[in-house]
Chains A and B, each alone.
Chain A
């Protein structure tokens, strides 16, 4: 599903955010990406989302060589990936339903079909009853769950999460992680960047560990 081959990323020709990263992720895997802030987690995710291009090496995702992807193809590539942001990135000028429906709107899915899928996604994160609410009326944990519903509403093959539990208490964090495991169980490849080591240790999944832009660990638990 994901392959990094000798990937390096420099910013401004000086700062080396990532150096010689090599790993593969199989379809249907669930894994964590850990490391201190500044270790390169976000850079790695940005490469997968094709927000940036590597300075060296190749990134392959779902059969695409991201460096060869034409600029006009990038939006269509991104539609195959669901992304959960630390600050959830909900749009506050529209309600929960419209927020979750956003990826489907972008893809031009039939309204009736879209409505059904939005409800299924909201049901999955336990917020079906709040579809009319505005994001501002929800708690932080609920907002994050809406963000997850939006990320999975178009059934992406790959789900990325960047510090999804960064602002949540341990109980809510565990709930969120359980959601990710549920999606993984139905075949979605899940990659979660997190520095919540205690939580990760309990979950027993593969862990990629970054330190100063280098991959220093690849295996179960940290």
Chain B
């Protein structure tokens, strides 16, 4: 069965003597088709070793892909934070509600302020209780310890601009303290940049790993078909002809590894999804793990297939040179 496919020659015999003008293109296509299925059959016939190779490739692909996904989710968080890069202006403890309102209006007139939201002492307490879920503890208190505050949205989120705005607000009468959490935002951004580089380095490293895995597997395949390669070379096979089945098996390995990696990412994502959702909910946030979309999945498969092909190409090129009786 496979032999028939590997030769691409029909056994049905000939009723009519067709001309030899088959056209190089058709013969070429025919051999490509034959080698595509033949190399797949060879892999299927040794399912365990094929699966192990694909698994090794999948694991090498998952690490950078998973890190990329994690960074992607960090970027989502980052973007949300960026929009809410606000300053909180706390008023002195003695400021009452009407005074707070006029102060808030004063803050709103400052240049560089895009908007303000007044949080009275009572609202502040309610928000605090809601966010932290510490109702019981706070209800023990006799008086509201929180001051009134105003949340300022700057019209320029550039760290330096926000910094100078914060200094100006600080000098207003009745302002106790201006909080801005830019430092950790900055650090988060730097961390994300670092993470991206790490992901890139890992992708390169593990891409190399895939090349080596496929290269080594194909090298063994070349070795085991040494006699066949010698014979077909002696009877006039071109390099491309000899290389073709190995290139296809490399591509199959890559594609299989890519599919396995996708499956493992989806399964792993689902496995992590409920604890992550629970964790996010405990912070009162809506957060879902990002997943690879259709285009990114397609890219992963294409990339892994190409890597497999390239690994095979490198290995075959090197080892065919050894086998050539030249």
Contacts and interface: CB of A to CB of B under 8 A. Distances in A.
A32 interface: no
Contact of A110 (B20, B230, B235, B236): B20
B22 interface: yes
B9 A97 contact: yes
Interface stretch (A87-95, A176-184, A209-217): A87-95
Contact of B234 (A83, A107, A119): A83
B30 interface: yes
Interface in B215-237: 227-228, 230-237
Interface in A105-121: 105-116, 118-119
Contact of B3 (A72, A75, A78, A95): A95
Interface residues of A, number: 38
B9 A76 contact: no
Nearest to A118: B9
B235 A78 contact: yes
Contacts of B239: 75
Contact of A116 (B4, B13, B241): B13
A91 B20 contact: no
Contacts of A101: 7, 9
Interface in B176-190: none
A78 B242 CA distance: 15
A21 interface: no
Contact of B30 (A94, A95, A108, A150): A108
A207 interface: no
A77 B236 CA distance: 7
A188 to B, nearest CB: 16
A184 to B, nearest CB: 20
B39 to A, nearest CB: 14
B14 to A, nearest CB: 4
B23 to A, nearest CB: 9
Interface string B164-186: 00000000000000000000000
Contacts of A107: 27, 236
B14 A113 contact: yes
B11 A103 contact: no
A109 B22 contact: yes
Contact of B17 (A93, A94, A116, A119): A116
Contacts of B231: 89, 91, 102
Contacts of B14: 112-113, 115-116
A104 interface: yes
A20 interface: no
Given A51-B326, A97-B9, A108-B27, A113 B236 contact: no
B323 to A, nearest CB: 12
Interface string B1-38: 00110111111111011111010101110110000000
Contacts of B19: 113
19 contacts: A49-B234, A75-B233, A76-B236, A77-B236, A79-B236, A83-B235, A89-B230, A94-B6, A94-B7, A95-B3, A97-B9, A102-B231, A105-B7, A108-B26, A109-B22, A110-B27, A111-B9, A112-B12, A113-B20
Interface of A: 46, 49, 51-52, 72, 75-79, 83, 89, 91, 93-95, 97-98, 101-116, 118-119, 131, 150
